[in-house]
Amino acid sequence: MVRRNLGQSTRSIYMGLASISLTLHILMAFFCLSVLQSACILPTSSSSTSSSVPRIDPVSHASSSSSASSSSNKQQTNHQHGERQKPNVGTFDHKGNGSFNEDTEKEKKLIGAGKMIANERGRSKLKELFKHSLYNLPRPELQQYDWLLRLKTDAEAEETESEEKTKGDPITSGSDWQSTSEEEGYDKVTWTREKETHPPWLRFHLGISRWELYDRKDLNLAQLTHYLATQRILGAVQKKGGTQLKLLVSFPNYGQALLKPMRQSRDAETDVNLFYFSDFERHNAEIAAFHLDRVMGFNRIPPVVGRLINVTKDIRETTTDERLSRTFFTSPAGNVCFYGQCEYYCSTEHPVCGRPDVLEVSLATMLPDLSLAPRRSWRSPWRRSYSRTKLAQWEKDPAYCDTVKTTPPYNRGTRLVDLIDMAVLDFLMSNMDRHHYETFEDFGNETFLLHLDNGRAFGRHSQDEPSILAPLAQCCRIRRSTLLRLRLLSHPDFRLSDVMRESLAQDPLTAMAPLLSEPHLSALNRRLETVLGVVQTCQDRNEDVVYNDLDQYDYQQLEDNP
Ligand SMILES: Nc1ncnc2c1ncn2[C@@H]1O[C@H](COP(=O)(O)OP(=O)(O)OP(=O)(O)O)[C@@H](O)[C@H]1O
Ligand SMILES: [Mn+2]
């Protein structure tokens, strides 16, 4: 009896002690979460923020900070920002160090750290990227002949004027130009030698050099895109050349742009049964390609901006193009539609329609007129056969590049690595339609390649097209600056998808919907890893893969101490 009572009281003492201990634990947990939360996390995360110094080599960076960010820490960070677990992106070990799994684990940990840096400090990954030394390589000073256009000297201008009383063109007709034309709607302008008097499109033309289409840091770029996105549209005519419908629009200060309309919803994936040459052109692909090319540091695509136009006011009522205006109609749903005249998809079955007359379009800055700056069109050695049955030579011959390498202009200078840069860009955005490329004739063979016509890019995010990388895979050659930038963009502190999302957010059409959906952005990361993998495979088998365009720089330092 006594023993039973004793046993009961001992049990209740134990129970009491247990509940006190439980309460104390709960209290401690609350205390830790509410008051000491930062202290609970900070010792590791603060050291991981030191990885905000951007580095290129993902492997060495990962190992230097892996001890600093434990996996629980990573989860906490991701949880704090309500992020989903990122997909496994590390499919290749670009440097041949460490094993596949180890690297992806390290990389995954860093994704948390990288995000935290970007979000908590409100830093812009894009700004950080563009601050990196790889995006600020000193360039040799440009000589007069390295500029595509220049204003004439007074003497030259006088000479020309006396020779022929040319009218109209601001550059051929001397250094000063006044619009004498009384054409309705055009601005009355006086352009002098002073840059401030020039409209943004003219400043863009005057800024084209032998090595790039524009200087990314030129403040005029923002003015140019703003101008394209907001100026009143004075006229629109069909633009000849190519196979699909596109318009040439004019603005009051004599600027022009190439317009491609939205023809399908942003997320429509290319029909698997369509050949690439039958694929619709996409306005958002033109915009995204410009951003991707800029993010790659190439600067070889004319600036493109998205805009909402009014089909009736901006096209139907302004056009002088009879062939275009004949194709306007009102659809059964009451929307204003047109289809124009061209080879593909210019029929009532494939109309371009407003809602009821509002339409999303892309507007690409026009390059200088061909009479001022003639361009040469080159057939790509890796162009597709454009036949439903035939294969191109490069698809049948694995040693195809040996022939290309010895054939002018690919046997000298940078032409081959320029073409490979273009293949990398096209693979990232899955553009199979690069049958030709252009260069400015006046620069001869020592110049960059224009990446025009990107309307068939970004058609499919669920599939990649390895054959686009054939120039890289078959030639096993790549510019060092391109390779280092690719590595940088695969680093979590930058991450191609993140910088692209940020860059595209600058476009006005983002207000309607993101210009590239998340699956397309993830596809960019996946494809970037594939490119790095192809380079690694090349390096495993060959020497001399990297073309050293950073000769005069200490690229080791560029890589290690950004
Ligand atoms: N920004 C630009 N400024 C001046 N000319 C341009 C510009 N963009 C394209 N062009 C010219 O217009 C031509 C047709 O444009 P584009 O290639 O985009 O048409 P497309 O219908 O897509 O062609 P394709 O059907 O061959 O793919 C190009 O070959 C190029 O010479
Ligand atoms: Mn095209």
Task: Choose, from 279, 421, 433, 453, the residue flagged as catalytic.
Answer: 433
Give the Cβ contact number of residue 82 at 10 Å: 6
Ligand 1, atom 12: closest residue by C-alpha = 241
Q: What share of the chain is helix, strand, coil (3-state, %, to 5)?
A: 45, 10, 45
Q: Best of 224, 245, 246, 258 to mutate for ligand 1, by most ligand atoms within 8 A of CB?
A: 258
Q: Which of 52-66, 68-82, 283-297, 384-398 has the lowest mean pLDDT?
A: 52-66
The span from the CA of 352 to the CA of 358, in Å, is 11
Residue 444 falls in which region: left (phi positive, over 0), alpha (psi -120 to 50) or beta: left
Q: 245 in ligand 1 pocket by Cβ < 6 Å?
A: no
Q: What local confidence, expressed as pLDDT, does residue 498 receive? A: 98
Note the helical H segments in 248-377: 283-295, 322-325
Q: What local confidence, expressed as pLDDT, does residue 57 receive? A: 29
Q: Which of 558, 561, 486 is CA-nearest to residue 529?
A: 486
Q: Does 330 have pLDDT greater than 80?
A: yes
The span from the CA of 66 to the CA of 499, in Å, is 23
Give the Cβ contact number of residue 109 at 10 Å: 24
How far, in Å, is the centroid of ligand 2 from the Cα of 456?
A: 6
pLDDT tens, position by position, 220-260: 999 999 999 999 999 999 998 878 999 999 999 999 999 99
Ligand 1, atom 27: closest residue by C-alpha = 242
Of the pLDDT bands very low, low, confident and very high (cuts 50, 70, 90), residue 2 is very low
Share of the chain above pLDDT 90, in %: 60
Give the residue-averaged pLDDT of 463-467: 96
Residue burial 195-214, b: 16+ Cβ < 10 Å; e: rest: eeebbbbbbbbbbbbbbbbb
Q: 281 in ligand 1 pocket by Cβ < 6 Å?
A: yes
Q: 452 in ligand 1 pocket by Cβ < 6 Å?
A: yes
Q: Which of 258, 306, 308 is CA-nearest to residue 507?
A: 306
Residue bearing the bigger pLDDT, 399 or 177: 399
Q: What local confidence, expressed as pLDDT, does residue 327 receive? A: 96
How far, in Å, is the centroid of ligand 1 from the Cα of 290?
A: 14
Q: 433 in ligand 1 pocket by Cβ < 6 Å?
A: yes
Of the pLDDT bands very low, low, confident and very high (cuts 50, 70, 90), residue 23 is low
Q: Nearest 5°: CA angle at 482, between 479 and 487?
A: 125
**Three-state DSSP class for residue 390:** coil
Q: What local confidence, expressed as pLDDT, does residue 182 receive? A: 58
Q: Which of 272-276, 317-321, 491-495, 499-503 has the lowest mean pLDDT?
A: 272-276
Q: 208 in ligand 1 pocket by Cβ < 6 Å?
A: no
Of the pLDDT bands very low, low, confident and very high (cuts 50, 70, 90), residue 559 is low
The span from the CA of 1 to the CA of 322, in Å, is 112
Of the pLDDT bands very low, low, confident and very high (cuts 50, 70, 90), residue 333 is very high
Q: What local confidence, expressed as pLDDT, does residue 453 receive? A: 93
The span from the CA of 326 to the CA of 359, in Å, is 19
Q: Which of 9-23, 218-232, 526-540 has the lowest mean pLDDT?
A: 9-23
ipTM of the complex: 0.96
> Active-site residue 402, yes or no?
no
The span from the CA of 230 to the CA of 278, in Å, is 32
Residue burial 219-237, b: 16+ Cβ < 10 Å; e: rest: ebbeebbebbbebebbbbb
369 within 8 A of 325, measured Cβ to Cβ: no
Q: 493 in ligand 1 pocket by Cβ < 6 Å?
A: no
Tokens found for residue 236: 């629109």
Give the residue-averaged pLDDT of 32-48: 32
Q: Which of 115-129, 130-144, 217-231, 305-319 has the lowest mean pLDDT?
A: 115-129
The span from the CA of 457 to the CA of 425, in Å, is 10
Tokens found for residue 131: 């601050």
Q: Does 125 have pLDDT greater than 90?
A: yes
How far, in Å, is the centroid of ligand 2 from the Cα of 453?
A: 5
Cis peptide before 409 (omega within 30 of 0): yes
Ligand 1, atom 23: closest residue by C-alpha = 242
> Please, what is the average pLDDT of the chain?
80
Q: Which of 302, 222, 306 is CA-nearest to residue 261?
A: 306
Task: Assign 3-class secondary structure to 458-476.
Answer: CCCCCCCCHHHHHHHHHHC
Distances in Å between the Cα of 148 and the Cα atoms of 82, 151, 258, 367, 413 are 50, 11, 21, 11, 20
Note the helical H segments in 99-138: 100-120, 125-131
Q: 285 in ligand 1 pocket by Cβ < 6 Å?
A: no
Compute the chain's Rg from CA coordinates. 29
Residue bearing the bigger pLDDT, 111 or 312: 312
Q: Which of 109-123, 326-340, 455-469 has the lowest mean pLDDT?
A: 109-123
What's the first-to-final CA gap in the chain, in angstroms?
A: 81
The pTM for the full model equals 0.78
Q: Which atom of ligand 1 is closest in space to residue 433's alpha carbon? A: 27
Q: Which atom of ligand 1 is closest in space to residue 260's alpha carbon? A: 18
Q: Which atom of ligand 1 is closest in space to residue 367's alpha carbon? A: 3
